[in-house]
Amino acid sequence: MALTGGKNTIASLLSCNGGFMDMVGFIGMQALLPSLITGNFLALGATLFLGGHGVLAKLIAVPLFIAVVAMTRIGGRMLERRGKAELRVLLAAELAFLTGCAVLAIGHGALHGPETALTRRRR
């Protein structure tokens, strides 16, 4: 079964999703842009020049982004060779990851420092 709406509709929806995730990531992960690699270079430079926190996260984000894109492409190719609907499977995987992240964020709240619900030691 094919996805309806055409390539332009799907591309537009995925672009909106990428922009939304960048905004959520920028606000929630202290100036980290999950789907914009050039923005991470800019944020890293600003953090190094002006001072601040999150340098390690910004450094790790770039190679991690590249690795995830490569793994997704390889996985899509493998699905395509097996005759599976790779777009449907990859979108379902994205939905599962985003849902899991939303559940964690709603359940644990924002990570603003060492004394949050997720990082607090049990006493």
Q: How far apart are CA 3 and CA 41, in angstroms?
A: 35
Asked if residue 119 is part of any domain, the answer here is: no
Q: How far apart are CA 94 and CA 96, in angstroms?
A: 5
Per-residue pLDDT, 23: 77
Rg (CA), the chain: 17
CA 61 from chain centre, in angstroms, equals 10
Q: How far apart are CA 60 and CA 67, in angstroms?
A: 11
pLDDT at 123 over 50: no
Host domain of residue 77: 6-108
Stated pTM of the model: 0.61
Asked if residue 53 is part of any domain, the answer here is: yes
Asked if residue 85 is part of any domain, the answer here is: yes
Structure tokens that stand for 71 in this block:
């793994």
Asked if residue 113 is part of any domain, the answer here is: no
Residue with the larger pLDDT of the pair 1 and 67: 67
Asked if residue 114 is part of any domain, the answer here is: no
Asked if residue 121 is part of any domain, the answer here is: no
Q: How far is CA 114 from CA 4, 57, 74, 111, in A?
A: 46, 15, 37, 8
Asked if residue 120 is part of any domain, the answer here is: no
Residue type, position 80, single letter: E
Per-residue pLDDT, 121: 52
pLDDT at 98 over 80: yes
In this prediction, residues 87-92 reach a mean pLDDT of: 86
What letter would DSSP give residue 110? -
Least confidently predicted of 45-49, 67-71, 118-122: 118-122
pLDDT at 89 over 80: yes
Number of structural domains the chain divides into:
1
- 119 close to 111: Cβ distance less than 8 angstroms: yes
Asked if residue 36 is part of any domain, the answer here is: yes
Per-residue pLDDT, 34: 67
